[in-house]
Amino acid sequence: MKGHEYALLDVFTDRAFAGNPLAVFPRAEGLDTGTMQAIANELNLSETVFVGQATGLARYPIRIFTPTMELPFAGHPTIGTAHLLAELGMAQRDRPLTLEAGAGPLVVDYEQDLARFTTPEPLSIMASPLNRAVAAELIGLKASQVVGAPVLASCGLPYHLIELDSLEALERARPSPGVWVEWVSPSGYEQIYLYVADDQSRKKQRLRTRMFSTEGGVREDPATGSAVAALAGKLATDKEDSGPWRWQIDQGIEMGRPSRIIAEAQRDGFDLTIRIAGHAVIVGAGALRVTE
């Protein structure tokens, strides 16, 4: 029996028992895919990260698993892993860190107690099969409470982005499993991201959001960096100037797991750079005994 050490973190928060929980195995050499998936299922967190042996200076391969599948990219695992590697001395806060994920290299930099990564794939936006009426039916609201047509946006992981007209509508949203199976599942992209302007003046660019996906049934996520990346890209393309822009996104409020995600975007001609930043705190550690 061999013990594989891991850390538990709360990500996109600066205090324990908030944000999005994460497990990270910082030295996962020798674990095969089946074992990683079994461990992620055993821990039953939204994601578990396995860090491989360094391939260069401050450069590590990572693999990200939900309890049922491997993901090419996810935001809170990237931020949490970056904070943990710095805490363990495997990365330095005064120089960049590269995490080699399935979707491509994630370049991370540190600013005081924040970690920030650049999205691995360029933004893609396409039409969503959800129109306003269907989106409203999906989440139990009136069509008038959905602002504009939903779109599918991705910076490595696609989301149906649905804008709502008020915080009240956001708080009342309850996805219908039946409508989900009829409209969302056939699209092949089983993640929806609801958002609304929290600051009506928009000067501070504050947003409130909720994310729902299917993982053993429709479930809610308290903090979703990959969804924020897609949303920031969509908002940036809606603007006429080149930026830079910065948004503060609060998520997880309705779950009692308040999270705060910082998104930045800058356009240079046809090139759009998107960065996601956040805090993380280590809340525990342990070792999992795996039979070799």
User: Would you give the DSSP letter of residue 178?
Assistant: H
Upper half-sphere CA count for residue 56 (Cβ side, 13 Å): 7
Other C-beta atoms lying within 10 Å of the C-beta of residue 4: 19
- Backbone torsions φ then ψ of 176, nearest 5 degrees: -95, 120
- Backbone torsions φ then ψ of 134, nearest 5 degrees: -65, -45
Please list the active-site residues: 47
C-alpha 189/C-alpha 27 separation (Å) is 32
Amino acid in the structure at residue 120? P
User: Would you give the DSSP letter of residue 143?
Assistant: G
Q: Give the DSSP H or E segment for 79.
A: helix 75-87
C-alpha 78/C-alpha 229 separation (Å) is 13
The answer to whether residues 193 and 141 touch, using CB atoms and an 8 Å cutoff, is no
